[in-house]
A and B are shown apart, each in its own frame.
Chain A
Amino acid sequence: MSDTKISPHSLNDLKNTTDDCLANYLRSLSFVQDNSKLDIRLAVGYAAVVISAVTFAADYKLGWEATKTGTAVAVVAYAALNAVYTWWMWMVEKGMVFEGVRGGKKVSIASKTKKHDPTYYLTVTTSSSSQPIQLQCPFTTWFTQDGYFVAQPFQQWLASSVAVIGEADSKNAAKSEKDELFVSEAERNGTTSTSGADASHAKGTKRGKKKS
């Protein structure tokens, strides 16, 4: 169980905390993280900021008349970099929270949430399958009622749904055997998490019915 407490009613907090825990979990399974996409975004973003800082300094020191032409060039360059930055975030990263390699197998995970829907949606792309896998699970599965993250059910969900992660974490991959253990552990940790799990089960079935 993680020690930071979040508001279980804030979808943003739920998602951010889960994103962080997902990356931590995969790193702990000795996935080697590949940050190149984020690095490129940072490089583009900081380049834009530097351009604007230089423009500001030049304007402050030399005044408008002397810097007119330079400013025009800087404005165009800034707009272009900003467009690239936005495009990169929306079209390339697409909410990616982890990309990494383990034993020659690549995995790339993007997460998202939908407004007023406390469900975690994952798009998992692996090198072993051509089609990306779509996963979804209510946040109540791994958050207690008072906003603590519980690692076990979360890791179990991931390990049993994604083959590459399951191979790395065979303990959590065998879901059915572990289920009972999870409930008893949750009870030991306090009744709140049990009720949270119950609620999630109920929701899960409802969602399933709607779909079919």
Chain B
Amino acid sequence: MFSSLASLQPRQLAAQVLNFALVLSTAFMLWKGLSVFTNSSSPIVVVLSGSMEPAFERGDLLFLWNRGLDTQVGEIVVYNVRGKDIPIVHRVIRRFGGGAAPLQLLTKGDNNAADDTELYARGQSYLDRQKDVVGSVVGFVPFVGYVTILLSEYPWLKTAMLGFMALTVVLQRE
């Protein structure tokens, strides 16, 4: 298999490597394009916990929209806790301000007993719509995201998958 790779002309080798690079870069740029379109840093997220059951379950894939910042009570938003980089999917139960004043939100998981004040960063008792929220949920696909939960829980799977992808693309012509 590798001998066929070695026998390639330099230009053919460059074209082969380009094939692989284009697969990766296209995937990345599609993701970034979706980010630009939705104005969200991560327009697709996977639900990691059961705190929103029965609305969303672990492994559900959520599509986010972050244009039109006037979030209403009852909307489900994804936010990042300041200082931590874990996205949390919860429902808005209160809103303060809005209009000229910055919009502030209080959230709670449907399946949780208490609201999220405990989860927020120290000294923070509400979310800043503009700064903290990644987007509102506008659609979802159940269960599809379970693969990424597996990937994050078993990191070696990631390496194996990436290596396998690289190998097939480089070794296969067209």
Select A71's contact among B4, B35, B174, beta carbons within 8 Å. Answer: B35
* Bound CA span A23–B9, Å: 11
Q: Which residues of the other chain, A, contact B3 by a CB distance below 8 angstroms?
A: 4
The reply to whether the CB of A35 lies closer than 8 angstroms to some CB of chain B is yes
- In chain A, residues 71-86, which have Cβ atoms closer than 8 Å to a Cβ of chain B? 71-72, 74-75, 78-79, 82, 85
- In chain A, residues 16-49, which have Cβ atoms closer than 8 Å to a Cβ of chain B? 16, 23, 35, 38-39, 41-42, 45-46, 48-49
Are A42 and B25 interface neighbours, CB within 8 A? no
Number of inter-chain CB pairs below 8 Å? 61
Count chain B residues whose beta carbon lies closer than 8 angstroms to a beta carbon of A.
22
Count chain A residues whose beta carbon lies closer than 8 angstroms to a beta carbon of B.
30
* Bound CA span A64–B133, Å: 13
Contact with B along A1-27 (1 / 0, CB 8 A): 000100000001000100000010000
Query: A173 CB to closest chain B CB, in angstroms?
Result: 27
The reply to whether the CB of B168 lies closer than 8 angstroms to some CB of chain A is no
The reply to whether the CB of A55 lies closer than 8 angstroms to some CB of chain B is yes
The reply to whether the CB of B18 lies closer than 8 angstroms to some CB of chain A is yes
* Bound CA span A75–B9, Å: 32
Select A4's contact among B7, B29, B39, B174, beta carbons within 8 Å. Answer: B7
* Bound CA span A35–B15, Å: 12
Query: B133 CB to closest chain A CB, in angstroms?
Result: 13
**Given A16-B173, A42-B11, A53-B32 contact (CB < 8 Å):** no
Q: Considering the complex, give the chain A residue whose CB is closest to the CB of B26.
A: A82
Q: Which residues of the other chain, B, contact A63 by a CB distance below 8 angstroms?
A: 41
The reply to whether the CB of B21 lies closer than 8 angstroms to some CB of chain A is yes
Select A79's contact among B18, B21, B33, B41, beta carbons within 8 Å. Answer: B33
Q: Considering the complex, give the chain A residue whose CB is closest to the CB of B134.
A: A64
- In chain B, residues 1-49, which have Cβ atoms closer than 8 Å to a Cβ of chain A? 3-4, 7, 9, 11, 14-15, 18, 21-22, 25-26, 28-29, 32-33, 35-36, 39, 41
Q: Considering the complex, give the chain B residue whose CB is closest to the CB of A77.
A: B29
**Given A4-B3, A53-B25, A82-B26, A71-B18 contact (CB < 8 Å):** no
Q: Which residues of the other chain, B, contact A87 by a CB distance below 8 angstroms?
A: none
Please list the residues of chain B having a beta carbon within 8 angstroms of any beta carbon in chain A: 3-4, 7, 9, 11, 14-15, 18, 21-22, 25-26, 28-29, 32-33, 35-36, 39, 41, 173-174
**Closest 3 pairs between A and B when the two form their complex, measured CB to CB:** A64-B41, A52-B25, A75-B33
